[in-house]
């Protein structure tokens, strides 16, 4: 696959990227180099490689699914400038 100057201009327009006219040709060359590299990957035989969802083959640690309020209400409201009854007291904003 080859990318020409018009294709680069269209891609830049769709991506909402302002590319000056004098930069379209060098950018087309860079994109062609990238596409050539990607086409080289098609030559690899990956028939014996199992599909992966991630490169990291570990499972996440799981925690018990228990309902808990955290019991940290006092810690949360400790830094409040005006805490009343375990709540944040704020000034009235509606007249």
Tens digits of per-residue pLDDT, 47-91? 898 888 788 878 888 988 888 878 888 888 888 888 788 888 888
**What are the residue ranges spanned by the domains of the chain?**
5-41
pLDDT of residue 36: 93
What is the C-alpha end-to-end distance of the chain, expressed in Å?
66
pLDDT at 46 over 90: no
Question: Across the chain, what does the average pLDDT equal?
Answer: 88
Residues near 76 by beta carbon (within 8 Å), at least 6 away in sequence: none
* pTM across the whole model: 0.50
């Amino acid at each position: 696959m080859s990318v020409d100057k018009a294709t680069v201009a269209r891609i830049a327009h769709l991506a909402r990227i302002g590319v000056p006219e004098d930069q379209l040709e060098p950018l087309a060359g860079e994109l062609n180099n990238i596409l050539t590299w990607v086409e080289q990957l098609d030559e690899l035989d990956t028939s014996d490689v199992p599909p992966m969802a991630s490169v990291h083959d570990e499972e996440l640690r799981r925690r018990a699914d228990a309902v808990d309020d955290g019991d940290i209400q006092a810690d949360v409201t400790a830094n409040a400038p005006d805490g009343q009854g375990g709540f944040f007291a704020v000034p009235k904003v509606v007249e």
